[in-house]
């Protein structure tokens, strides 16, 4: 118990010191009797997700988080987690949390493209920020305040709840040797990446994860991306597609979002709000750690045990996709001042962090494999 208290205290300090304002509606000083009542109230929340129930990583993380919140709050905040389709469909999560059908929802902001196209920036941008960089922008570069401003009219407060790291490029049954191989290709690919694919002649399809396997198997789609080796192996995509392409240019570091109904949030006492924020920051970190380890293990299994053929997209294809990605993102501002501010903030941070990461992350990763003859060592040493 002593340990647990120290843990909560430490994390509360970290949250308080992180420079990010607490969610809107932080509790105002309550009277003594009100405060006592709040301490005795058990809050029962529903957390709906866009993922199949218990999907490794994305589906299991919110369950682990709810368990932690229950323990840290001594049972005062009891969150029940629902998989996609149990309470509402995957793509109805945002509206359901906005309307208060559920107090919390986990998903990815690019799923709300139909309602709020600019929201995609807070999940991932093709050829944009990596996981590490997204966390920098959201929590210390102004991104989170803009995300909250964007969702505020819907009565929803967003927070980061994980990141998968760079995803894989997807599963194909024919090789992609040039841009012409993308023409007419029906591919499940969400978010801005789908828009980019459309502009180079492909046919993007948006569908929740639960439909991916059967759609590829029955030929409704020709190709699909999903997440990375860990989740793709769980779906069995290697049993119905021949080639596994990289890199995931379209999702270089997608942030998993957790959204909270603003009224439900305001009804929580300050200590429970701090517990939720702390649990989310911990989950945000934990998911990336889990994906880093499990993806690496699963990739080895896919290649060694299942004979999956890895392919890298040709440079010609990546360069064209990168050019088109920049056009697609630049057009997103339109006439909307908030959209403009979001894109400006993202661009400014991107320029800043990229010049730093050129001489740190990239220089180091290059240094790890460089050989004196100019080639690359790939000896795993």
Q: Which is nearer to Ca ion, 251 or 277 (CB)?
A: 251
Instruction: Considering the complex, state which of residue 45 and residue 127 has its C-beta at the smaller distance from Ca ion.
Output: 127
370 vs 361: CA distance, rounded Å: 14
CB of 345: closest distance to Ca ion in angstroms?
Answer: 24
Percentages helix, strand, coil for the chain (3-state, rounded to 5) are 55, 15, 35
Nearer to Ca ion, 249 or 265 (CB): 249
DSSP 8-state class, residue 268: S
Per DSSP, 76 falls in state: S
Torsion of CA 156, 161, 164, 170, to 10 degrees: -30
| Strand order from edge to edge, sheet including 170-172 | 203-205, 186-188, 223-224, 170-172, 243-246, 309-312
Are 193 and 245 in contact, with CB atoms under 8 Å apart? no
Site for Ca ion in 148-167 (CB under 5 A): 167
| Cβ closest to Ca ion, residue 256 vs residue 274 | 256
Closer residue to Ca ion in complex, CB, 212/332: 212
Q: How far is the CB of 124 from Ca ion (least distance, A)?
A: 8
CB 12, min distance to Ca ion, A: 34
In the region spanning residues 165 to 194, those forming contacts with Ca ion, defined by CB under 5 A, are: 167
* Least Å from the CB of residue 234 to Ca ion: 14
Are the C-beta atoms of 170 and 189 separated by less than 8 Å? Answer: yes
What count of Cα atoms within 13 Å lies in the side-chain half-sphere of residue 315? 0
Q: Is 126 exposed, middle or buried (0-12, 13-18, 19+ CB in 10 A)?
A: buried
**Interface positions, 13-52, toward Ca ion (CB under 5 A):** none
| Beta pairing class for 243-246 and 156-163 | unpaired
Closest separation in Å from C-beta 327 to Ca ion: 21
- Nearest approach in angstroms of CB 8 to Ca ion is 34
User: Is 195 or 225 the residue whose CB approaches Ca ion more closely?
Assistant: 225
Nearer Cβ to Ca ion (55/87): 55
Q: Of the two residues 19 and 114, which places its CB atom closer to Ca ion in the complex?
A: 114
Give the contact letters, 213-252, x = binds to Ca ion (CB under 5 A), - = no: ------------x-------------------------x-
Q: Minimum CB separation from Ca ion for residue 193, in Å?
A: 8
Q: Would you give the binding string for Ca ion spanning residues 245-284, x where CB under 5 A is met?
A: ------x---------------------------------
Closest by alpha carbon to 245, among 190, 166, 304?
166
Count of residues of this chain found to bind Ca ion when the rule CB under 5 A is applied: 3
Question: Which residues from 119-148 bind Ca ion, rule CB under 5 A?
Answer: none
List of residues 6+ apart from 77 with CB closer than 8 A: 42, 43, 45, 69, 70, 268, 272, 275, 276
The nearest distance, CB 23 to Ca ion, in angstroms, is 27
Contacts of 250 (CB under 8 A, 6+ apart): 124, 126, 167, 169, 189, 191, 192, 193, 194, 196, 197, 225, 321
Residues that bind Ca ion (CB under 5 A): 167, 225, 251
């Amino acid at each position: 118990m002593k340990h647990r208290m120290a843990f909560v205290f430490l994390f509360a300090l970290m949250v308080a010191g992180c420079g990010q304002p607490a969610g809107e509606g932080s509790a105002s000083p309550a009277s003594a009797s009100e405060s006592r009542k709040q301490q005795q109230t058990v809050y029962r929340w529903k957390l709906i997700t866009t993922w199949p129930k218990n999907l490794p990583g994305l589906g299991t993380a919110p369950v682990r988080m709810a368990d932690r919140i229950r323990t840290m709050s001594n049972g005062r905040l009891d969150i029940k987690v629902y998989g996609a389709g149990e309470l509402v469909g995957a793509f109805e999560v945002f509206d359901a949390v906005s309307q208060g059908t559920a107090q919390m929802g986990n998903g990815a902001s690019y799923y709300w493209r139909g309602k709020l196209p600019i929201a995609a920036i807070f999940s991932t941008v093709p050829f944009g920020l990596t996981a590490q960089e997204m966390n920098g922008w959201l929590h210390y570069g102004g991104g989170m305040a803009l995300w909250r401003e964007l969702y505020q009219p819907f009565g929803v407060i967003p927070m980061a709840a994980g990141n998968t790291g760079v995803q894989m490029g997807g599963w194909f049954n024919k090789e992609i040797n040039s841009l012409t191989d993308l023409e007419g290709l029906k591919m499940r690919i969400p978010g801005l990446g789908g828009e980019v694919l459309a502009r180079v002649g492909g046919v993007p399809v948006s569908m929740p994860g639960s439909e991916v396997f059967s759609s590829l198997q029955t030929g409704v789609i020709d190709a699909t991306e999903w997440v990375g080796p860990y989740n793709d192996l769980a779906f069995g995509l290697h049993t119905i597609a021949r080639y596994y392409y990289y890199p995931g240019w379209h999702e270089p570091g997608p942030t998993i979002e957790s959204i909270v109904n603003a009224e439900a949030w305001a009804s929580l006492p300050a200590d429970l709000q701090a517990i939720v924020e702390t649990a989310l920051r911990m989950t945000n970190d934990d998911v990336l750690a889990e994906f880093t380890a499990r993806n690496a293990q699963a990739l080895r299994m896919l290649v060694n045990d299942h004979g999956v053929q890895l392919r890298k997209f040709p440079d010609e294809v990546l360069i064209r996709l990168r050019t088109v990605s920049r056009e697609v993102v630049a057009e997103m501002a339109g006439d909307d001042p908030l959209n403009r501010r979001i894109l400006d903030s993202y661009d400014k941070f991107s320029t800043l962090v990229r010049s730093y990461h050129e001489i740190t992350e990239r220089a180091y990763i290059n240094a790890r494999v460089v050989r004196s003859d100019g080639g690359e060592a790939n000896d795993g040493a």
